[in-house]
């Protein structure tokens, strides 16, 4: 019933607000990031568009939990090939350079396999005879830019970029790179204001990522041309032609920066209105007289992959607590579970965090989980593992809304101490409630804003007015290299002329003497 009301509200809202309704369109969503969290985010967008009356096709790496009319899904094989030798527990994830190298190497491998997958070949054959089968393409720009070649292949429909992964490549593509010294790079542990040493390191990592990204995207352009032909534009140029980029970012987590008008923030887009939990979980939390703790390491990292001694550390610690604990644990055959602990392979996390008895969230600090915790005002114990999780953990600790744990040095004492610190020190809850109010206080709900911009693109032909000149400048032009070269040359000639004049005058005086 509630779902039907929300759907009706999304349809009626534009009429009440004076917005022009957009006619039903055919939309292709490209979700090629080999991560369940990206798939969940993009499927929420697809569902929103279907409920709006559009016909949606999604190219995905993960099966959707929902089957909807007017939603066609192609599941691509080979996306998770990179995981075969991946160790989330490796301490090397603390290195931003290691994270940059892994991210691009894994994406190349994953992208290569998906371009050769039977699902993609089937999609191409089913749409090769249509001149323009889609009115709009929505592409998750986090990686796999090879698939931007589909814009050309499918008759150049309009293009919108999206990313659940903070700012990432959307900034490079849309001309809002940020200041290389003063804007903390996403995969570092730095936050503003940075020390001089941090600024130097930040500059190195930003330049290194910029170099590796362009090398990587050139390789992906080669992959794209193998499939779609040598005559198609460079995939980066296709990306730059996008009308807007919808970015899952907020200054609380990403810092305040200058952005192109074509970059639209929709922080917490994936967060739905809370629903009642299943009967067993609802009862477990309702009866938690002393409050409850929720423990989850997200969709990529599994609690069951932790070593046995680490698992026992948590079980032994939880057994001593008066609070109840919900633990997302993927192996339900685990033994010696304390009476105050309930485990399950899956919980409806957003609905759990919305429960009034949840007092603490033990998390890996993935971006989507972190946004949900802030949205619901739940303080955290952070145990990061890879990519941006370490940086987020540092920021949250600095902001006073989380206590950090290190998986490498985990002990019963450190876990117990962290739990007691957050539960007994009211400052953590007070501060995250303050940030929650800011996070939720937006002029327009993220879902409504996303719908507005997608349909704005569908209804209007010209979007160049949103594009700053930086979008189409070369790297040298972007850092004023061309202007600096001209001015430097002129200044050099002036100095040389003055130096020659002075030298000539001295020689004349010497001759006269």
Compute the average pLDDT of residues 341-369: 94
**Residue 278 CB contacts under 8 Å (≥ 6 apart), including other chains:** 348
Paired residues of 327 in beta bridges: 295, 343
Residue 222, pLDDT above cutoff 60: yes
Q: Is the pTM of this model over 0.75?
A: yes
H or E element in which residue 265 lies = strand 263-265
Query: SS3 of 343, please?
Result: strand
Could you write out the three-class secondary structure of 196-214?
HHHHHHHHHHHHHHHHHHH
State how beta strands 324-328 and 341-344 pair: parallel
Summarised one tens digit per residue, pLDDT across range 124-181 is 999 887 778 999 999 998 888 999 999 999 999 999 999 888 666 656 666 665 555 6
Query: SS3 of 128, please?
Result: coil
Q: How far apart are CA 102 and CA 384, in angstroms?
A: 17
* Cβ 292 vs Cβ 357: under 8 Å: yes
The DSSP 8-state label assigned to residue 461 in this structure reads S
H or E element in which residue 12 lies = helix 2-17
Question: Average pLDDT of the chain?
Answer: 84
Compute the average pLDDT of residues 294-310: 87
Question: What DSSP string describes 410-455?
Answer: --HHHHHHHHHHHHH-HHHHHHHHHHHHHHH--SS-HHHHHHHHHH
* Cβ 403 vs Cβ 381: under 8 Å: yes
Res. 509 pLDDT band, cuts 50 70 90: low
Q: Highest-confidence range of 59-63, 277-281, 384-388, 476-480, by mean pLDDT?
A: 277-281
H or E element in which residue 223 lies = helix 196-228
What's the burial of 199, exposed, middle or buried (CB within 10 Å: 0-12/13-18/19+)? middle
Residue 474 CA neighbour count, 13 Å, CB half: 5
Q: How far apart are CA 128 and CA 437, in angstroms?
A: 49
Compute the average pLDDT of residues 423-435: 96
Q: How far apart are CA 324 and CA 284, in angstroms?
A: 8
Compute the average pLDDT of residues 223-252: 90
Res. 253 pLDDT band, cuts 50 70 90: confident
Q: How far apart are CA 385 and CA 364, in angstroms?
A: 7
* Cβ 187 vs Cβ 104: under 8 Å: no
Taken as a whole, the chain contains a residue count of 513
Summarised one tens digit per residue, pLDDT across range 437-461 is 999 999 999 999 999 999 999 998 8
Q: How far apart are CA 370 and CA 471, in angstroms?
A: 30
Residue 271, pLDDT above cutoff 90: yes
Is the N-terminal amide bond of 193 cis, ω within 30° of 0?
yes
């Amino acid at each position: 019933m509630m779902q039907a009301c929300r759907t009706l509200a999304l349809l009626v809202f534009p009429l009440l607000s004076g917005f022009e309704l957009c006619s039903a369109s055919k939309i292709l969503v490209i979700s090629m990031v080999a991560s369940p969290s990206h798939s969940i985010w993009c499927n929420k967008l697809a569902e929103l568009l279907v409920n709006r009356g559009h016909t949606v096709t999604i190219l995905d790496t993960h099966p959707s939990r929902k089957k909807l009319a007017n939603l066609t899904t192609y599941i691509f094989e080979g996306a998770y090939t990179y995981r075969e030798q991946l160790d989330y527990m490796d301490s090397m994830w603390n290195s931003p350079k290691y994270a940059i190298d892994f991210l691009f190497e894994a994406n190349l491998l994953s992208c290569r396999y998906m371009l050769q997958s039977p699902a993609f070949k089937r999609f191409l054959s089913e749409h090769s005879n249509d001149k323009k089968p889609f009115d709009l393409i929505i592409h998750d720009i986090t990686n796999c830019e090879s698939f931007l070649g589909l814009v050309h292949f499918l008759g150049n429909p309009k293009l919108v970029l999206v990313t659940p992964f903070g700012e990432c490549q959307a900034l490079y593509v849309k001309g809002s790179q940020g200041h290389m010294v003063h804007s903390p790079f996403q995969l570092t542990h730095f936050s503003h204001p940075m020390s001089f040493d941090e600024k130097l390191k930040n500059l190195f990592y930003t330049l290194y990522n910029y170099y590796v990204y362009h090398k990587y995207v050139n390789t992906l352009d080669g992959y794209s041309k193998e499939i779609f032909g040598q005559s198609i534009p460079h995939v980066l140029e296709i990306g730059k032609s996008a009308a807007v980029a919808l970015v899952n970012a907020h200054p609380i987590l990403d810092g305040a920066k200058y952005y192109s008008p074509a970059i639209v923030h929709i922080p917490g887009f994936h967060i739905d209105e809370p629903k009642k939990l299943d009967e067993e979980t609802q009862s477990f939390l309702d009866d938690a007289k002393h409050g409850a703790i929720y423990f989850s390491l997200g969709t990529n990292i599994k609690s069951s992959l932790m070593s046995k001694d680490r698992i026992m550390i948590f079980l032994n610690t939880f057994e001593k607590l008066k609070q109840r604990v919900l633990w997302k644990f993927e192996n339900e055959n685990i033994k010696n579970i304390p009476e105050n602990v309930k485990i399950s392979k899956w919980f409806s996390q957003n609905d759990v965090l919305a429960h009034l008895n949840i007092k603490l969230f033990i998390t890996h600090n993935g971006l989507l989980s972190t946004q949900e915790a802030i949205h619901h005002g739940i303080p955290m114990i952070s145990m990061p593992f890879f990519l941006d999780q370490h940086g987020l953990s540092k920021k949250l600790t600095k902001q006073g809304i989380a206590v950090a744990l290190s998986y490498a040095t985990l002990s019963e004492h450190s876990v117990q101490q962290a739990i007691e610190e957050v539960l007994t020190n009211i400052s953590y809850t007070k501060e995250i409630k303050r940030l929650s109010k800011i996070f939720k206080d937006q002029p327009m709900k993220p879902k409504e804003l996303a719908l507005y911009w997608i349909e704005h693109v569908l209804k209007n032909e010209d979007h160049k007015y949103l594009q700053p000149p930086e979008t189409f400048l070369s790297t040298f032009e972007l850092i004023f290299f061309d202007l600096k070269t001209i001015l430097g040359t002129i200044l050099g000639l002036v100095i040389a002329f003055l130096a020659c004049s002075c030298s000539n005058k001295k020689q004349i005086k010497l001759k006269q003497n």
